[in-house]
Amino acid sequence: MSDIQQASVVAQPQANPLLKAWQTPLETPPFTEIAPEHFLPAFEQAFADHAAEIAAIEHDPSTPDFANTITALERSGRLLTKVSSVFYDLVAAHSNPALLEIDKEVSLRMARHWNPIMMNAVLFGRIAMLHDNCATLGLTGEQMRLLERTYTRFHRAGAGLDEPAKKRMAEINERLAQLGTAFSHHLLGDEQDWFMELGEADRDGLPDSFIEAAKAAADERGMAGKAIVTLSRSSVEPFLKSSERRELREKVYKAFIARGDNGNANDNNAIILEILRLREESANLLGFSTFAAYRLEDSMAKTPEAVRGLLERVWKPARARALADRDALQGLVAEEGGNFALAPWDWRYYAEKLRQRRANFDDAAIKPYLALDNMVEAAFDCATRLFGVTFSERNDIPVWHPDVRVWEVKDSEGRHKALFYGDYFARPSKRSGAWMTSLRDQQKLDGAIAPLVVNVCNFSKGADGQPSLLSPDDARTLFHEFGHGLHGMLSDVTYPSLSGTSVFTDFVELPSQLYEHWQEQPQVLRQFARHYQTGESLPDDLLKRFIAARKFNQGFATVEFVSSALIDLEFHSQPAEAISDVRAFERQELEKIGMPAEISMRHRPQQFGHVFSGDHYASGYYSYMWSEVMDADAFGAFEEAGDIFDAQVAKRLHDDIYSSGGSRDPEDAYVAFRGREPEPDALLRRRGLLETSEAA
């Protein structure tokens, strides 16, 4: 008897909240009733229900049509979706050892459940028949898109392979599921295990807001009265910017970039090598020479060459700018009497000094005006002005942690539109980073289903009841994830597979990155950037200096991103058998592109969860930059209208981008909004790199 079967015996369905109708407000997950032991029996029931639904479609004796095949597929697996959404939200945002153990089994069982479905020859035959005759079916535009995406999904999963190849593909999928789960658990383990206590003598240069956040982090770990640096990016980066203690900066920096690469039980190097071999083999089975070629065929970019072309177009001016900045930073070191070469743990510290000199601005000056609550209010207000939606906090919705807040979203006519969950603070039970997910997607297949959308961040919590103060990067992250959230909340499609963010990876970042633009607009900051103690608005002088400083250090920021994207592409473009040592490959590729020694990649391979915790961004980390070409160009539509809240432009943005989900081709959607294809130079202009590019 398997662990799942044993758990089924222990927890009977009638006692399992995951298997009952939810008698909560708006039928939201009853988190206060759900315990780890409920998940395995719930998954067992969900797998069984879904398998029966698929069998009914497969064995339907009637001639295949859109309703009995494609629509039936869309209706199948609802319990599995319901259970999975809650489970993976908890695993990522509020895990514990019991959940992580269950995750190991569920990831394997999930692969074993989906493999026979996605490679079902009879089912694929029905889908292919409809696909071949789509012009005669009288389908709507959304139905045509759904049929095309369903056919593509099954075809790319191996449904057309012969039986031996299907068997091998299933084995690969199962192993990749295990490896991706192990990778993320290892990363979380290294992040949970490390912290650095700050004694009184260790706090030189650190602003009061950082010390308060460090005390809150210590409280979260049961170390009341102490102050600690953790490996959350929201803790590491401000420490590296402010700490005058060079040896402590080095210690924190090295711990941060060594996550998953410490030669301990959490080491990810061997996992990466096996993932690369298996991904390449799966691509070969499907007729592709590399995983990158397979992955990018179903994207806006289409080919590795197109991706490499964009990244190299940006790399050259970014590297030139970064090298010029490096020389200026080294000059500051010498000016202060420092007898050392600038190192990666020095860059942010001296960059802040250089920014103060050139723009008379540093992050510490503006943080008191960027209280979390005010920035949330700003994000909501921009959405109201653009799209007519309103937000009101609900205190009657069950949540997974006391820090989680929930807002009801209504449309311009006061009708319920969505619920929005905000989980903003770092804690040991949460994986690092920031993300958007959903507990329920919007759809209209059988009546209107309103979405439950989640934003998760890792901001430092204020201590002793003080507000959480955000850096400009944190505030931008909040707007970024809220942009994803709006993509889910404003979705207006019929079919769940096309809902919200169900779009190409290199299009999904457009709504999120575009929304970042409003966070840094003067009229938004004048209204919502208020001092957390006095309530005074951001002074005009500081606002002007902040705006002037926005393009500062863009060489560094672009180099750390593009290097990560290029390494991701090379990992999946070169023969896996030629990569025997992850660190050596990393060094080799960075040398090839001329990576400045004073800058490290934004994500070293061993901690690159985007790429190795699952395959969603594998060969796809470039997507942020591909989308940035569009978002920089798209915001120009508002600038050309002379109003960042122009009603006509906002309506096109809503109709063509935010509400359409995956119901139309992304290139068509963008052109419908903008009236033309994007101009690539918009990205370089936004980052202040165009002049460098033309001079290079």
Catalytic residue IDs: 481
Whole-angstrom distance, CA of residue 64 vs CA of residue 499: 24
- C-alpha pair distances (Å), 620 with each of 92, 355, 566: 21, 32, 10
Per DSSP bridges, beta strands 452-459 and 416-425 are parallel
What phi and psi, each to the nearest 5 degrees, are found at residue 356?
-60, -40
Whole-angstrom distance, CA of residue 485 vs CA of residue 93: 16
Residue 457: both structure tokens together: 């961040």
Contacts of 474 (CB under 8 A, 6+ apart): 234, 370, 457, 459
Dihedral of CA atoms 44, 48, 49, 52 in degrees, nearest 10, equals 170
User: Cα 323 vs. chain centroid, distance in angstroms?
Assistant: 29
- For 508-569, the three-class secondary structure string (H helix, E strand, C coil) is HHHHHHHHHHHHCCHHHHHHHCECCCCCCECCHHHHHHHHHHCCCCHHHHHHHHHHHHHHHH
Handedness of CA 187, 192, 196, 200 (dihedral sign): positive
Whole-angstrom distance, CA of residue 583 vs CA of residue 47: 40
Look at residues 247, 3, 222 and name the one whose alpha carbon lies nearest to residue 109: 3
Contact 621, 564 (CB under 8 A): yes
Helix (H, G, I), strand (E, B) or coil at 243: coil
Where helices occur in 96-228 by DSSP H, the ranges are: 97-118, 121-132, 141-157, 163-193, 208-220
Phi-psi region of 604 (alpha: psi -120 to 50; beta: other; left: phi over 0): beta
Helix (H, G, I), strand (E, B) or coil at 65: coil
What phi and psi, each to the nearest 5 degrees, are found at residue 424?
-100, -20
Whole-angstrom distance, CA of residue 96 vs CA of residue 161: 40
Dihedral of CA atoms 496, 498, 504, 506 in degrees, nearest 10, equals -90
Rounded to the nearest 5 degrees, what angle is found at the Cα of 672, between the Cα atoms of 668 and 678? 75
Contacts of 585 (CB under 8 A, 6+ apart): 570, 571, 579
Whole-angstrom distance, CA of residue 504 vs CA of residue 508: 6
Whole-angstrom distance, CA of residue 177 vs CA of residue 187: 16
Look at residues 554, 548, 549 and name the one whose alpha carbon lies nearest to residue 320: 554
